[in-house]
Amino acid sequence: MNTRNLRFRSNRVRDILALYHEELDGIYGSGEVSAFGEMLFEAFLRWDKVRLLTSREQTIDQSDLLRFHWALEDLKRHRPIQHIIGHMDFCGCSIAVSPDVLIPRPETEEMVSWIVKSYGLRVMSGGILDLCTGSGCIAIALKKAFPTAEVTAVDVSSKALAMARQNAKNNGVDVHFVQADILPVNCQLPTANCQLIVSNPPYVMEKERAQMQPNVLNYDPALALFVPDDDPLRFYEAIAAIAKEHLAADGLLVVEINEALTSETCAVFEAQGFAPKVNEDFRGKHRWISATR
């Protein structure tokens, strides 16, 4: 593309940000668009918030301007900012993302932070098992927090596991990754006597598609999101069975949930002898269950 055909009024920072707001505020809102600008200037030019604030009259070169142009076009198509940048921060870890994995959510990060805070300074005495690991963000963050723990992460998708392995390598942690489908009753996992089992499994019912945004529907893998309307608890039933066999007597089970199915999900774990407790996220929504025997 000839850079003279770009719609930016100039290559001055102020004008770049102004066009982003003109084109995107109606889609995302002004606050989120401002955050996009900060993230893109950091990713493309290594500018922090202070430099961005104090360099509004500075100009950038044409090759960088072209990157901002394509990012703007992608955002107008609802492509997630994390895919444009290629990575995101999760509990202090840099996690690469793509359409092969679910983009980690702030609520999941909050759940992991709660786990770390719950254990405090205690040494993790047993293994950690992360089911439906996706990008590996949960397993990697927990390995960072509990470096002496043996962490095993499981997913059915080979593409997701390839990205998870690369994320573990990039963050300098040793996680054992296993490709397996946890749904079969006879699912065999190479771990036992876990101190912690954690999962953010698929839990969005097909009938909830209409409530979801295009940046989720069009870019996150359906395999990591959806469950049938007539069998929405299938992953929790599998997790409860696995936990009954693999969780230590004094271990902790933590799973992210669909708020619309809170009581039904609790009943699944109660049926396997667990005492579940519902935890709320920063929005006051039922977000995860923590359970002990």
Domain 98-292 CATH class label: alpha beta
| 112 has a pLDDT exceeding 90 | yes
- CA-nearest of 231, 179, 173, 237 to 205 is 231
The fraction of the chain above a pLDDT of 90, given in percent, is 87
Residue 162 pLDDT:
98
- CA-nearest of 181, 164, 182, 185 to 173 is 164
pLDDT tens per residue, range 62-81: 999 999 999 999 999 999 99
- The distance in angstroms from the start CA to the end CA of the chain is 61
Dist CA 39 CA 33 (whole Å)? 10
Are 177 and 153 contacting, i.e. CB atoms less than 8 angstroms apart?
yes
Dist CA 276 CA 108 (whole Å)? 18
pLDDT band at 6 (very low <50, low <70, confident <90, very high): low
Distances (CA, A) of 147 to 141, 164, 177: 10, 17, 16
Domain boundaries, the chain: 3-77, 98-292
Q: What six digits make up the tokens of 2?
A: 């000839």
Residue with tokens 């407790």: 277
Residue 3 pLDDT:
44
Q: What is the mean pLDDT of residues 122-132?
A: 83
| Mean pLDDT of the chain, nearest integer | 94
For 228, which DSSP code? Answer: -
Residue 15 pLDDT:
95
Q: What is the pTM of this model?
A: 0.92
Q: What is the mean pLDDT of residues 109-124?
A: 85
pLDDT band at 121 (very low <50, low <70, confident <90, very high): low
Residue 41 pLDDT:
97
Are 206 and 226 contacting, i.e. CB atoms less than 8 angstroms apart?
yes
pLDDT tens per residue, range 213-251: 898 999 999 999 999 999 999 999 999 999 999 999 999
Q: For residue 154, with 0-12 CB atoms within 10 Å meaning exposed, 13-18 middle and 19 or more buried, which class applies?
A: buried
Residue 283 pLDDT:
93
3-state secondary structure of 77: coil
| 5 has a pLDDT exceeding 80 | no
